[in-house]
Amino acid sequence: MEDGKDAKARKQAIFDCMSPRNRKHILKKGFDKWDPFEEPKDPIDIRKDKSKRTTQQLVREFLQVRSDEPCSNAYSGGVLEICLGIVNSDDRYIGMFEFSRWYHDLLKREGHE
């Protein structure tokens, strides 16, 4: 485990080597809150959902099973957009998904399939 003084010294050394513009950005947020040793987050393209699939895998699977008809770029783009939103737990897309399920069930109950 790293000694607290050593970590502070390394943090200060990293800060001192930065450009004045980057230092200003760090100071604006707070030097104490800044963690130069923080692990990076997973890029969006390798994040996986509960089924252990990437958004790219989910979109590809969906588009393959939906039908043999070609789909438009707008359709494919919408599929990708809602997939990213759901996988990232974005409330906007969760709401759109839940409404779509509810509306589908409503039409089914009323015999409009």
Residues 79 and 93 in one domain: yes
Backbone angles phi, psi at 52, to 5 degrees: 70, 25
Residues 48 and 35 in one domain: no
- The contacts found for 77-86 with CB under 8 angstroms, 24 or more apart, are 80/55, 83/55, 83/58, 83/59, 84/44, 84/55, 86/49
Is the confidence at residue 1, as pLDDT, over 70? no
pLDDT in tens, 29-58: 898 888 888 776 656 557 788 888 888 899
Residues 59 and 101 in one domain: yes
Total domains in the chain come to 2
Helix (H, G, I), strand (E, B) or coil at 48: strand
Residues 23 and 49 in one domain: no
pLDDT in tens, 70-103: 888 899 999 999 999 998 889 999 999 999 999 9
